[in-house]
Structure 1
Amino acid sequence: MSRTLYIIALVLISAFAKAQETSNPNIVYILADDMGIGDVSGLNPEAKVSTPNIDALIKNGMTFTDAHTTSSVCTPSRYSIMTGEYAWRTKLKARVLDGYSKSLIADEKDTAPELLQRNGYATAMIGKWHLGWDWQLQTEENLEMDAKNPYQYAQDISDKVDYTKPFQGGPTDHGFDYFFGINASLDFPPYVYAENDNLITEPTETMKPDGKDKDFPGGRKLDLVGGQKLKRKGDKAPDFEAEDVMLDLTNKSVKYIADYKQSKPFFLYIPLTAPHTPVYPRPEFEGTSKAGIYGDFIQELDWTVGQIMTAVKEKGIEDNTIIIFTADNGASKASFPIEFEEKYNHKPSAHLRGRKATLHQGGLTVPFIVQWKNTIKPNSTNATTISLGDLYATCADIVNTKTELNQAVDSYSILPLLQGENTYDREASVYTNFAGRFSIRKGDWKMDLNPKKGKSYLFNIKDDPSETNNLFEDSAYAKKKEELTLALNDIILSGRSTKGKALENHGTKIWKQLFWLKEKK
């Protein structure tokens, strides 16, 4: 490059960076898939993994020590991130979607990327969607839906899908200008990349199943490493390799940032596939941790975070870019079996009880780290009990607009907390597990409800963060249980937890998991 061209390039980069600094901040939202607070070395001194890049975010930003997902499983958690609404307000009262499920987000439902689009942002998503989309079928058919999941077909429809036609109800129909990624978890077919609303390559092959081996010495139950590699049999594109997905998502994310030329800010949502099953660290990461292939996969994830951070810095926009790192729920027992906690002396939930799919803290508490140079105090912490469902309201606050009427009805802005203030309006948070059972957190108290005798819990989280002393059956706390129950009932039956006109949830008013309300009818 000649000296003249070099100077021109520097001027253009400087002008681009200056334009970014005077606008609303870029937002890069990195979402790990099934990761506990104990999986970050900067949050867990006893971790048998090393996460220097995530640790750098901790050093440069703010760590929320009591951040929670709205559910301990993927789909409902991601629904809340996008819409600012609890997923059980839809007809999905429990469980998750698969790769052929219908779109969970209704057309009339606003999303955080749509709000940002309306306020001058370019929006992109690179990664795992897991909120369903509507495949076009080869012939029109009235197919039966699953009795347990109104968005999922009762039968395998893979042979009925026309993969050559664009799908509907995916990311580009819900606020993203650009999308590259996969529909559901990496252990669900079809195994194929999509770009915007089309598949890149038609799935003409069959992915061989992977997982526990029935002939394993001692039987399938003892094949713990086999379980870490779970993949279901299904349609596969010839050029799709599950082992390369993390690298592909990393390269796409870095390229998006490096190639970005618009003067307006961007929102880049990067929901990654690690460390969810199948646990497939690339060869260069195998053996780099002290926690088996799971730890190696965590370290590949950390490498990805580092590549994205470097891309932001090299673009010259670090000072005006919010980088958020978090996870959709706690660590999975399949990805890192409980038996391995003793074997490797590594605890993905750290001191917390429980894992993914449960109502315990370990299934709901996630890393939540925010870097925003010149705004957030470096190496700071915040103990406020926040929710991943707060993205929508926070984005509205960033662009100085009000939340749309009757949208994001469970979302509260954390912008004041990021700016060093002590203002956060949420009074209570509601959580659900895989079975759709409910928990409520209000102040220091958390109550989990279960119709089975002895399976309901009441904990003072401040005094007992590891949930070891269940006070539910203690009569001395009867008023506290009543207070929490009334608060939970109000949030559910009002159709919202934010202020405003009462709304109706979708589906029946009282459903199976609201057993304590059914008993009163």
Structure 2
Amino acid sequence: MYTNRIGAMFRIYMLIPLLVCFCKVEGQGGQKPNIVYILADDLGIGDVSGLNPESKIRTPHIDTLIKNGLTFTDAHTTSSVCTPSRYSIMTGEYAWRTQLKRRVLDGYSKAMIAPDKDTAPKLLLRNGYNTAMIGKWHLGWNWVIENEGDLERDPQVPYKFKEDISSHVSYSKPFTGGPVDCGFNYFFGLNASLDFPPYVFSENDRLITEPTETMPSRGKRSDFPGGKKNDLEGGQLLMRSGDKATNFTVKDVMPELTARSVQYIREYNSKAPFFLYIPLTAPHTPVVPGEIFIGSSEAGIYGDFVSELDWTVGQIVDAVKERGLEDNTIIIFTADNGASKASFPIEYEKKYGHKPSWELRGRKATLHQGGHTVPFIVQWKRVIQPNTRNNTTISLGDLYATCADLVNERTDPNQGVDSYSILSLLKGKQDYGRKASVYSNFAGRFSIRKGDWKMDLNEKKGQSYLFNIKEDPSEKNNLFYNASFDHIREMLAKALNDIILNGRSTDGKKLDNQGDKIWRELFWLKPQKQQP
């Protein structure tokens, strides 16, 4: 049924702005603000034209948010890859405090958020909000699996299975541990990234259609002239082979998520405020812009996909306006990490004259600034002065504490243990408590930022880094091996060790992380290794 709906939505792709609903939500005056949280997937800070004057992609709708709101110029994810970053958004906790010490989940992974873990949507739900999520989850859920006890887990990623378990999954049965068990009244979307099977939409705790077909694998071709590694275009279309629903088409996903998000806002009729979380699938691989966006940028199909993402942002913001909700709605636009080398290869930076990380070093999956520095734009018409900027170093993990501050809830001190409220910053004040931020990469390695200083740690000789980010934002001058900065390294090492070993970065009693107290990525804490 949903595939017919997709077709219909796609045919009216450009008509949505003309369909205006004039009714307003009753009881808006004096209400807690609605919250619309839009999360791009693998978007570089240099992809947004309002943040990078040299961008080869026009993003007029995101740029309008910039003009109408507040831009945080030093916003970071907690990880440079998606699963751990999204975990922090939901829970206000670093993902490496769980069993996930490295890498990401797939479409058959177990639920990562424990049942007793509080989340931002749970917090808002118990404070009178209706909560909805439309988009990509990528935090695992518990499928009904035949003979699960006989299946081996991946030692690298304990939430994953070591083998393909798709033939063991009972697709017809409801799953647990997903969005509706983590605080959302309603969910529509995908389990994982759009290049992971199963390729099928879910609603609440069930699949909409059981996958009965197989998606063929796509990606770099072994017979490509010049060798597989040179097939950059093939790499942009990456999709792993696996189960898919009949008529599931990857190009229809962004239009469907857009239409569903707009529909939710237009049809919302409760007097209660709402929290709408919209984690989109663009511009992550497969890079598949809709036909009407082909050629809309000067950065190839990647730029065109970002243009489609920008269009989606415009549709969502317009829906808020049409309902008369704009004055009492916080709209946040950000991304889960920096741009991917697969989506936009490094070789294309010269070809198109476009740099997704702009002046920053590194991309997705790295510890360099370009891996975890993201756009973070907030429009809140009643509160935020338009076209303003704030250079405070904030984290996407701050959503939990900010929501608690917004509803004036005193939360359990052992929940959201790495989250700090940015509400005062939104109101033009500077009362922000974070003293240091920790970042991780795909391999599970660590980086810490405190003040102007950032240190990346790597067991391999010559591959640790120390930078003064204020003086050297592009991370060109590595001071790690300069003895004159031993005191800085020691200060940062102590701050990092305290955050890791105390089980929290907020004030409170010491807690235990899951798994081993010291795991392999904490090489400097092992007795046989010297501390940095």
**Alignment TM class, shorter chain as reference:** over 0.9
Please tell me whether residue 269 in structure 1 is matched to residue 277 in structure 2.
Answer: yes
Please tell me whether residue 286 in structure 1 is matched to residue 294 in structure 2.
Answer: yes
How much has 1:210 moved relative to structure 2?
1.0
Please tell me whether residue 344 in structure 1 is matched to residue 352 in structure 2.
Answer: yes
Give the one of 509, 518, 522 matched to 1:514.
Answer: 522
Give the one of 209, 215, 218 matched to 1:210.
Answer: 218
How many Å separate the matches in 2 of 1:171 and 1:259? 21
Task: Name the CA shift for 1:425/1:190 in 2 (closer, same or farther; >3 Å).
Answer: same
How many Å separate the matches in 1 of 2:236 and 2:256? 21
- 1:49-198 → structure 2 map (5 Å cutoff): 49-198=57-206
Which residue pairs with 2:49 in the alignment?
41
Instruction: State the TM-score, normalized to the length of structure 1.
Output: 0.97
How much has 1:33 moved relative to structure 2?
0.2
How much has 1:194 moved relative to structure 2?
0.2
How much has 1:402 moved relative to structure 2?
1.6
* Kept in 1: contact 2:77–2:336 (CA 8 A): yes
* Kept in 2: contact 1:80–1:388 (CA 8 A): yes
Which residue pairs with 1:257 in the alignment?
265
Which residue pairs with 2:13 in the alignment?
none
> Which secondary structure does the structure 2 equivalent of 1:496 belong to?
coil
Which residue pairs with 2:467 in the alignment?
459
Give the one of 416, 427, 431 matched to 1:419.
Answer: 427
* Kept in 2: contact 1:21–1:319 (CA 8 A): no
Which residue identity is paired with 1:250? Answer: T
Deviations 1:7-36 (A, max 9, x none): xxx99935x25x223111000000000001
Give the one of 379, 385, 402 matched to 2:387.
Answer: 379
Deviations 1:129-154 (A, max 9, x none): 00000100234533110111100001
* Kept in 2: contact 1:125–1:178 (CA 8 A): yes
How many Å separate the matches in 2 of 1:494 and 1:112? 23
How much has 1:374 moved relative to structure 2?
1.9
How many Å separate the matches in 2 of 1:296 and 1:98? 27
How many Å separate the matches in 1 of 2:497 and 2:413? 22
Which residue pairs with 1:480 in the alignment?
488
Task: Name the CA shift for 1:76/1:11 in 2 (closer, same or farther; >3 Å).
Answer: closer
Which residue pairs with 2:14 in the alignment?
none
How many Å separate the matches in 1 of 2:503 and 2:393? 21
Which residue pairs with 2:503 in the alignment?
495
Which residue pairs with 2:367 in the alignment?
359
How many Å separate the matches in 2 of 1:519 and 1:453? 18
How many Å separate the matches in 1 of 2:101 and 2:489? 23
Which residue pairs with 2:316 in the alignment?
308
Which residue identity is paired with 1:454? Answer: G
How many Å separate the matches in 2 of 1:186 and 1:446? 33
Which residue pairs with 1:7 in the alignment?
none
How much has 1:115 moved relative to structure 2?
0.2
* Kept in 1: contact 2:68–2:381 (CA 8 A): yes
Q: How many matched pairs? A: 510
- 1:295-334 → structure 2 map (5 Å cutoff): 295-334=303-342
Which residue identity is paired with 2:494? Answer: L
How many Å separate the matches in 2 of 1:187 and 1:114? 29
Which residue identity is paired with 1:13? Answer: C
Which residue pairs with 2:23 in the alignment?
13
* Kept in 2: contact 1:21–1:317 (CA 8 A): no
How many Å separate the matches in 1 of 2:411 and 2:292? 45
> Which secondary structure does the structure 1 equivalent of 2:149 belong to?
coil
How many Å separate the matches in 1 of 2:280 and 2:411? 28
Deviations 1:229-251 (A, max 9, x none): 00000000003111110000000
Please tell me whether residue 237 in structure 1 is matched to residue 206 in structure 2.
Answer: no
> Which secondary structure does the structure 1 equivalent of 2:496 belong to?
helix
> Which secondary structure does the structure 2 equivalent of 1:269 belong to?
strand
Task: Name the CA shift for 1:284/1:12 in 2 (closer, same or farther; >3 Å).
Answer: closer
- More deviation, 239-248/488-497: 239-248
State percent identity of aligned pairs: 71
Which residue identity is paired with 1:371? Answer: Q
How many Å separate the matches in 1 of 2:326 and 2:65? 12
How many Å separate the matches in 2 of 1:507 and 1:68? 26
How many Å separate the matches in 2 of 1:520 and 1:172? 45
Instruction: State the TM-score, normalized to the length of structure 2.
Output: 0.95
- More deviation, 42-51/238-247: 238-247
How many Å separate the matches in 2 of 1:128 and 1:520? 42
The unaligned stretches of length 5 or more in structure 2 are 1-19
How many Å separate the matches in 2 of 1:243 and 1:229? 11
How many Å separate the matches in 1 of 2:196 and 2:237? 12
How many Å separate the matches in 2 of 1:273 and 1:482? 40
How many Å separate the matches in 1 of 2:371 and 2:21? 49
The unaligned stretches of length 5 or more in structure 1 are 1-9
How many Å separate the matches in 1 of 2:527 and 2:367? 22
Which residue identity is paired with 1:258? Answer: R
How much has 1:357 moved relative to structure 2?
0.2
